[in-house]
Amino acid sequence: MRGFGAGTAEEEALREAALILEQWSRAFSASDVDAIVRLYSDDAIFVGTGSKAVVTVTDGIRRYFEDALLSNRPRGASLASYETMILSDTSVVVAGLDTVTGVRDGVPFSNSGRVSFVIAKRGAEWKIVHFHRSAMPK
């Protein structure tokens, strides 16, 4: 993880962003739709790997994860590498490479991808305000 000019408030922003990423990965791996949806702000912009449209409502994010996480279990997601950029003491961009795993028809699968998050403070809480994931080009 790399920050730019990290000071006290910026270091806190990096810690909070890392915590959200950890919670996101844990919720994804546990197929916990409620936990993962709670990490997104009410005004989040969401484009998942299988999205056919930009999602801007919480119910759309929930439907996406119900479809993605409640099948092909067990599921997993891990960030292989990522970089961070502090936009302010209340917002951080994370861009990286990840691997999503699961089991389809009894056969394990693994898909590499590119992922970006914008994590920002909304009131007293840190939330994902933007998410995009796309498959790794072949």
Residues 8-28, mean pLDDT to the nearest whole number: 94
Amino acid at 81: S
- pLDDT, one tens digit per residue, over 29-50 is 999 999 999 999 999 999 999 9
- pLDDT, one tens digit per residue, over 69-80 is 998 888 999 999
The domain limits of the chain are 8-135
Q: Would you say residue 117 has pLDDT above 90?
A: yes
Residues 95-99, mean pLDDT to the nearest whole number: 97
Distances (CA, A) of 59 to 33, 38, 46, 63, 92: 11, 11, 11, 6, 24
For the chain, give the mean pLDDT.
93
Q: Would you say residue 20 has pLDDT above 70?
A: yes
What is the assigned CATH class of domain 8-135? alpha beta
Q: Would you say residue 1 has pLDDT above 50?
A: no
